[in-house]
Amino acid sequence: MGLGRRSGFAELRRPSPWGALALVMLSGLAMMRNGVDTDPGPPQPTRLAASAQSQRGAAPVPVAGLQPLEYAPASRVRIGSIGVDAPVMDVGLDREGWIDAPPAQDANMAGWYQNGISPGQRGTSVVVGHVDNEAGPAVFYRLGAIKGGEQIEVTRFDGRIAVFEVYGIEVFSKEDFPGVRVYGDTGHPELRVITCGGGYSKANGYDGNVVVFARMVEVR
């Protein structure tokens, strides 16, 4: 999402159902950082190195009797600990076969890939959003500051709220993004929230992606 969005794109024609979603990570979910060069930018879970430093803990033990939900699109995402309360729009593919992004000018908008897993279904649902745009910070500017044990609430169009507990946050280089690890089915309803992160340059934008790992622990 942003300037130079094609750099690092993966091909859509892949056998994995996550092939299209992989485009989101590799394209760069950001515009250009504003301000002077000394601006520290958005908080980061780690500094990007040759390989990402893990901040993952043990995933929450599935709650007894908690069943996966049926399919329903996402309508809103809330992350109280970092001040996120944003509508969610469905995103698909553009005319050239690349994953679409929420409108860059709408700073408080997240996107959910409508042909993927819906939040609360068994499998891994993915919510994405800009870290910033040409005007300043955007919806997931503070995503890198989230901590394990904090909760993410995703409201669905069927009126249910899927509540996820964070158990990890990492930053990955776009050149070595572990799609299977991020998108793979763990056998439980999981959520990944993703934005740009890592190092930044005016020429190339952000060189990594911040990924939050969370598992469903409650349905309201």
pLDDT by residue for the chain (220 residues), tens only, comes to 432 232 222 222 233 444 444 444 434 444 444 444 446 789 988 543 333 445 667 888 878 899 999 999 999 999 999 999 999 999 877 676 555 678 889 999 999 988 889 999 999 998 989 999 889 999 999 999 999 999 999 999 999 999 999 999 999 888 888 888 998 999 999 999 999 888 888 888 888 889 999 999 999 9
Question: What does the chain come to in residues?
Answer: 220
Q: Are 196 and 129 in contact (CB under 8 A)?
A: no
From CA 103, how far away is CA 124, in angstroms rounded? 24
Which pLDDT score, from 0 to 100, does residue 185 have?
A: 93
**170 within 8 A of 55, measured Cβ to Cβ:** yes
Domain 19-55+69-219 CATH class label = mainly beta
Count the Cβ atoms, other than its own, within 10 Å of residue 43: 14
For residue range 158-209, what is the model confidence (pLDDT) as tens digits?
A: 999 999 999 999 998 888 888 889 989 999 999 999 998 888 888 888 888 8
CB 141 within 8 A of CB 85: no
- Domain layout of the chain by residue ranges: 19-55+69-219
Q: Of 199, 62, 198, which is closest to residue 143 (Cα–Cα)?
A: 198
